[in-house]
């Protein structure tokens, strides 16, 4: 079963978001676009909070957030209980974020990776399972 995806971006990530949505459609993923819907200047929390809330409430299995550096969306998403947002700029980081940290929100830095790499990172994030085992006890210690 393919996981359902909540996706959002600010203006710096808009073009990548649109391309990643095309990939999600092509690969038959259920998803919801939480905006932004143009390259006009937009505040990243306005999109990061709704994506994080949707994953937090288990309305979607995973979240994808894109902004210029990925820092703003990651900081915002990680304010939500049960969200483990990971900034990934290499495919290996996406695999480890899922496998070792059970990350449920991927944050992509659009200004620092190519669109081709961003697509590969997203694919690896979606496809990689949580390994559990010794990692589970660590993940269980994250929430306060």
For residue 105, give the CATH number of its domain: 3.40.1400.10
pLDDT tens for each residue of 21-75: 999 999 999 999 999 999 999 999 999 999 999 999 999 999 999 999 999 999 9
Number of domains comprising the chain:
1
Q: Do residues 122 and 20 lie in contact, with contact meaning Cβ atoms separated by under 8 Å?
A: yes
Which pTM value belongs to this model?
A: 0.96
pLDDT at 131: 83
The verdict on residue 144 lying in a domain is: no
Among residues of the chain, what percentage have pLDDT more than 90?
Answer: 90
Mean pLDDT of the chain: 96
pLDDT at 137: 87
Q: Which of 49, 67, 80, 107 is catalytic?
A: 67
Q: Do residues 73 and 64 lie in contact, with contact meaning Cβ atoms separated by under 8 Å?
A: no
Could you tell me the residue range of the domain that residue 61 belongs to?
A: 5-139
Q: Do residues 57 and 68 lie in contact, with contact meaning Cβ atoms separated by under 8 Å?
A: no
Q: Which of 29, 49, 88, 100 is catalytic?
A: 100
67 is an active site residue: yes
């Amino acid at each position: 079963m393919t996981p359902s995806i909540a996706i959002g971006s600010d203006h710096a990530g808009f073009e990548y978001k649109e391309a990643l949505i095309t990939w999600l459609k092509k690969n038959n993923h259920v998803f919801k676009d939480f905006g932004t819907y143009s390259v006009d200047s937009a505040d990243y929390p306005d999109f990061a909070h709704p994506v994080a809330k949707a994953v937090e409430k288990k309305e979607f299995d995973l979240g994808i957030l894109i902004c210029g550096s990925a820092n703003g969306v990651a900081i915002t998403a990680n304010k939500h209980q049960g969200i483990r947002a990971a900034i990934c700029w290499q495919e290996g980081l996406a695999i480890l974020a899922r496998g070792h940290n059970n990350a449920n929100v991927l944050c992509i830095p659009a200004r620092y990776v190519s669109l081709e790499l961003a697509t590969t990172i997203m694919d690896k994030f979606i496809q990689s399972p949580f390994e559990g085992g010794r990692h589970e006890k660590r993940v269980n210690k994250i929430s306060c």
